[in-house]
Amino acid sequence: MNEEEFGHLVRQYSRLIRSAVARVAGPSAAGICDDVEQRVLLALWQAMPGEQMPDHPSSYIYRAAVRETVRAVQGLKETFELGPEADKADLSAPPDALLQAKELGRAIRTALSEIGTDRRRAVTAHLAGYEVKEIMVMFDWPYHKARNLIARGMADLRRKLDARGYSD
């Protein structure tokens, strides 16, 4: 692989990491994602070991891309003083609404701790925003099992919340 090809690969990874970060930063963070893309581009070039271009840098650069993605997401708050959508919702919500949400959130966490392991994992992932196909991969479940665990786990959760008086 020559330097031009390597540069092309790095640019593709930078764009992909930009999309990956955008998933959690939200659509309003386009400018921030531009900055992330530039930083990642630079970091991937700098991560090249020595002056010698490896023959097959792909798996090396994929690993570097993983590290840069982790750093970019974890650095969102610190670097740009911006959190994900949920955080922004927190700040704009009236204090009593936030208090109620936190109370319900604690009840949800308690209820989840009382249901079976697989259903708990399925529902937790569902509430955290994972898609069904991602949940399948995470736990090595076939499609129908993942769907059923989410549906039954959500029914369990609703019953337990009803029993605690969170029925509206």
Partner 1 sequence: MTEIERIRTAFRVTDADEADGHLSEQQWESLACGELDHPDHSAALDHILGCRQCTETHQSLLVLREHAHDFDPGAPVPEITRKSSSHRWIFTGVLAAAATLVVVILQPLGPGLTNPGSPPPSDPALRSSQKAQTATPLSPIGPVPASAVVFSWEPSPTAPVSIVQLIDESGEVMWTGHETEKTSIEWPGNLAKRSGHYYWRVLSVGGATGGKQASDLVAFELTESLP
Binding residues for partner 1, per CB under 8 A? 9, 12-13, 16-17, 19-21, 23-24, 56-63, 65-67, 69-74, 84, 86, 89-90, 98, 101-102, 104-106, 108-109, 121, 124-125, 127-130, 133-134, 136-140, 142-143, 157, 161
104-to-84, 89, 126, 157, 164 alpha-carbon distances in Å: 20, 16, 17, 12, 10
CB of 8 to partner 1, least distance (A): 9
Measured from the CB atom, the residue of 42 and 137 that comes closer to partner 1 is: 137
What is the spatial distance between Cα 91 and Cα 17, in angstroms, rounded to a whole number? 27
CA distance 26 to 31: 11
Q: Per residue in 131-162, is it b (16+ CB within 10 Å) or e — as a string?
A: eeeebbeeeebeeeebeebbebbeebbeebbe
For the bound state, the minimum distance from the C-beta of residue 88 to partner 1, rounded and expressed in Å, comes to: 11
Kindly state the smallest distance separating residue 50's Cβ from partner 1, in Å: 19
Between 32 and 65, CB nearer to partner 1: 65
The residue among 67 and 159 lying less far from partner 1, judged by its C-beta, is 67
Closest CB 87 distance from partner 1, rounded Å: 9
CA distance 71 to 66: 9
In the complex, minimum distance from the CB of residue 156 to partner 1, in angstroms, rounded to a whole number: 13
